Amino acid sequence: MRTWMRLQYFLFFFTWTTFVSYWGLIFADRGFDSTEIGLSITVSLVTRSVAVVTLFPLANRHLPLGAIARVLPWLCLLVATALVPDAGFTGLMVLSALLGILYPTEMQVLETAGSLGAQRGAFEYGPARMWGSFGFIVGSAVDGAIATVLGTGALLWVFIGGLLVLALAALRPMGDEVVAAQRAGSFGSWGPLLTRPVIVCALGAAVVLQSSHAAYYAFGTLHLDRLGAAPWAIAAMLVLAPLGEMAVFRLLGGAAAGRSIAVLLAGGVVGCVLRWTLWALVPSWPVLLASQLMHGLTFGLIQLAVVQTLRRHVSPELVGPAQGLYAALGTGGGTAVMTAVAGHYFDLSPALTFLLMAACAGLAAPLVWGLARAESRGGPLQVPPRPLA
């Protein structure tokens, strides 16, 4: 299973580079303004939040995780191909909604499989997830080279080609029959996700911190472009961020099992506030380029904290719904709200936009404090491990 996860992480995040970093530039190249682009991304985030918190768990109740992992990439490929003709703003909104339902759900399928595999002791999450960061780096290099030679409009074809390879690779067996056969629990069994203080505080803090990335994901490359950064510098920016992730996953991936979840998230709060304040107050693309290494703190630590929360405190049949709930509120609904805010203010004042992101991140501090208190009172769920494979 470790090999399957590494390959899937690599291929998915190769395509994710285009989706989160160049999507705005692709459609700006077609003549859409930042408000229209922000609206299309917001629609995608809203439909994502619905899909990952309801449709994915519902599908996983009736279909095993392995079956969903084989079929979903082909559906993503179909919708992405439909974006090739220019269907205008209405078409962009409709296809963004469909892609929001399907494509980000693929990440939740992989993260659910990764969390279950780590919970069973099949592999350590951090070193496996590091291959996703490596895929993002390779995707950034490929996107930067193609954008320089052919223009940003050609990157849609890179996205489509990556999805095709991902879909073909997903046909291979997952490598762990128990994880592949896992089905989600019923909606009525979700009580612990909404009542246990450790889970509520940990996932709540992670949601707020993830939401603070909205302006960066939607307009980060556009901001550097307007500051005069060359295409190679934008590609380098996208490479440095996952390098920061890889360092965190490599250095703390195995050690995270022995760390307090609150400590991991506290590092994320500090990192987010400092990073977005820097983006607000220093309009210099070389400085912002160097600050990309902080992505290890603002994303890597949060991801490790979420996986440790699921591993220690969530039973296997609720790992998928928990992942869906986290994605729906964090990279879905919460990010959708903050993307709408960013889309409204970005053309008026990029500095104000990123200061709002820093303020958003600061709101996670009380939840981290509550998490530290909850951790000190309650013990983890006991899940029988199995030997590393």
Query: Mean pLDDT of all residues in the chain?
Result: 85
> Each residue of 82-114: pLDDT tens digit?
988 887 888 888 888 898 889 988 988 998 898
pTM for the whole structure = 0.74
Whether 144 has a pLDDT exceeding 60, the answer reads: yes
Q: Among 201, 224, 217, 223, which residue's Cα sits nearest to residue 338?
A: 217
pLDDT > 50? residue 240: yes
> Residue 81: what pLDDT?
92
Q: What is the pLDDT of residues 342-373, one digit of tens each?
A: 888 888 899 999 999 999 999 999 999 999 99
What CATH number has the domain spanning 2-377? Answer: 1.20.1250.20
Whether the predicted pLDDT of 382 surpasses 60: no
Mean pLDDT over 62-90 rounds to: 90
- The pLDDT assigned to 28 comes to 80
256/207 Cα distance (integer angstroms): 19
What percent of the chain stands above pLDDT 70? 93
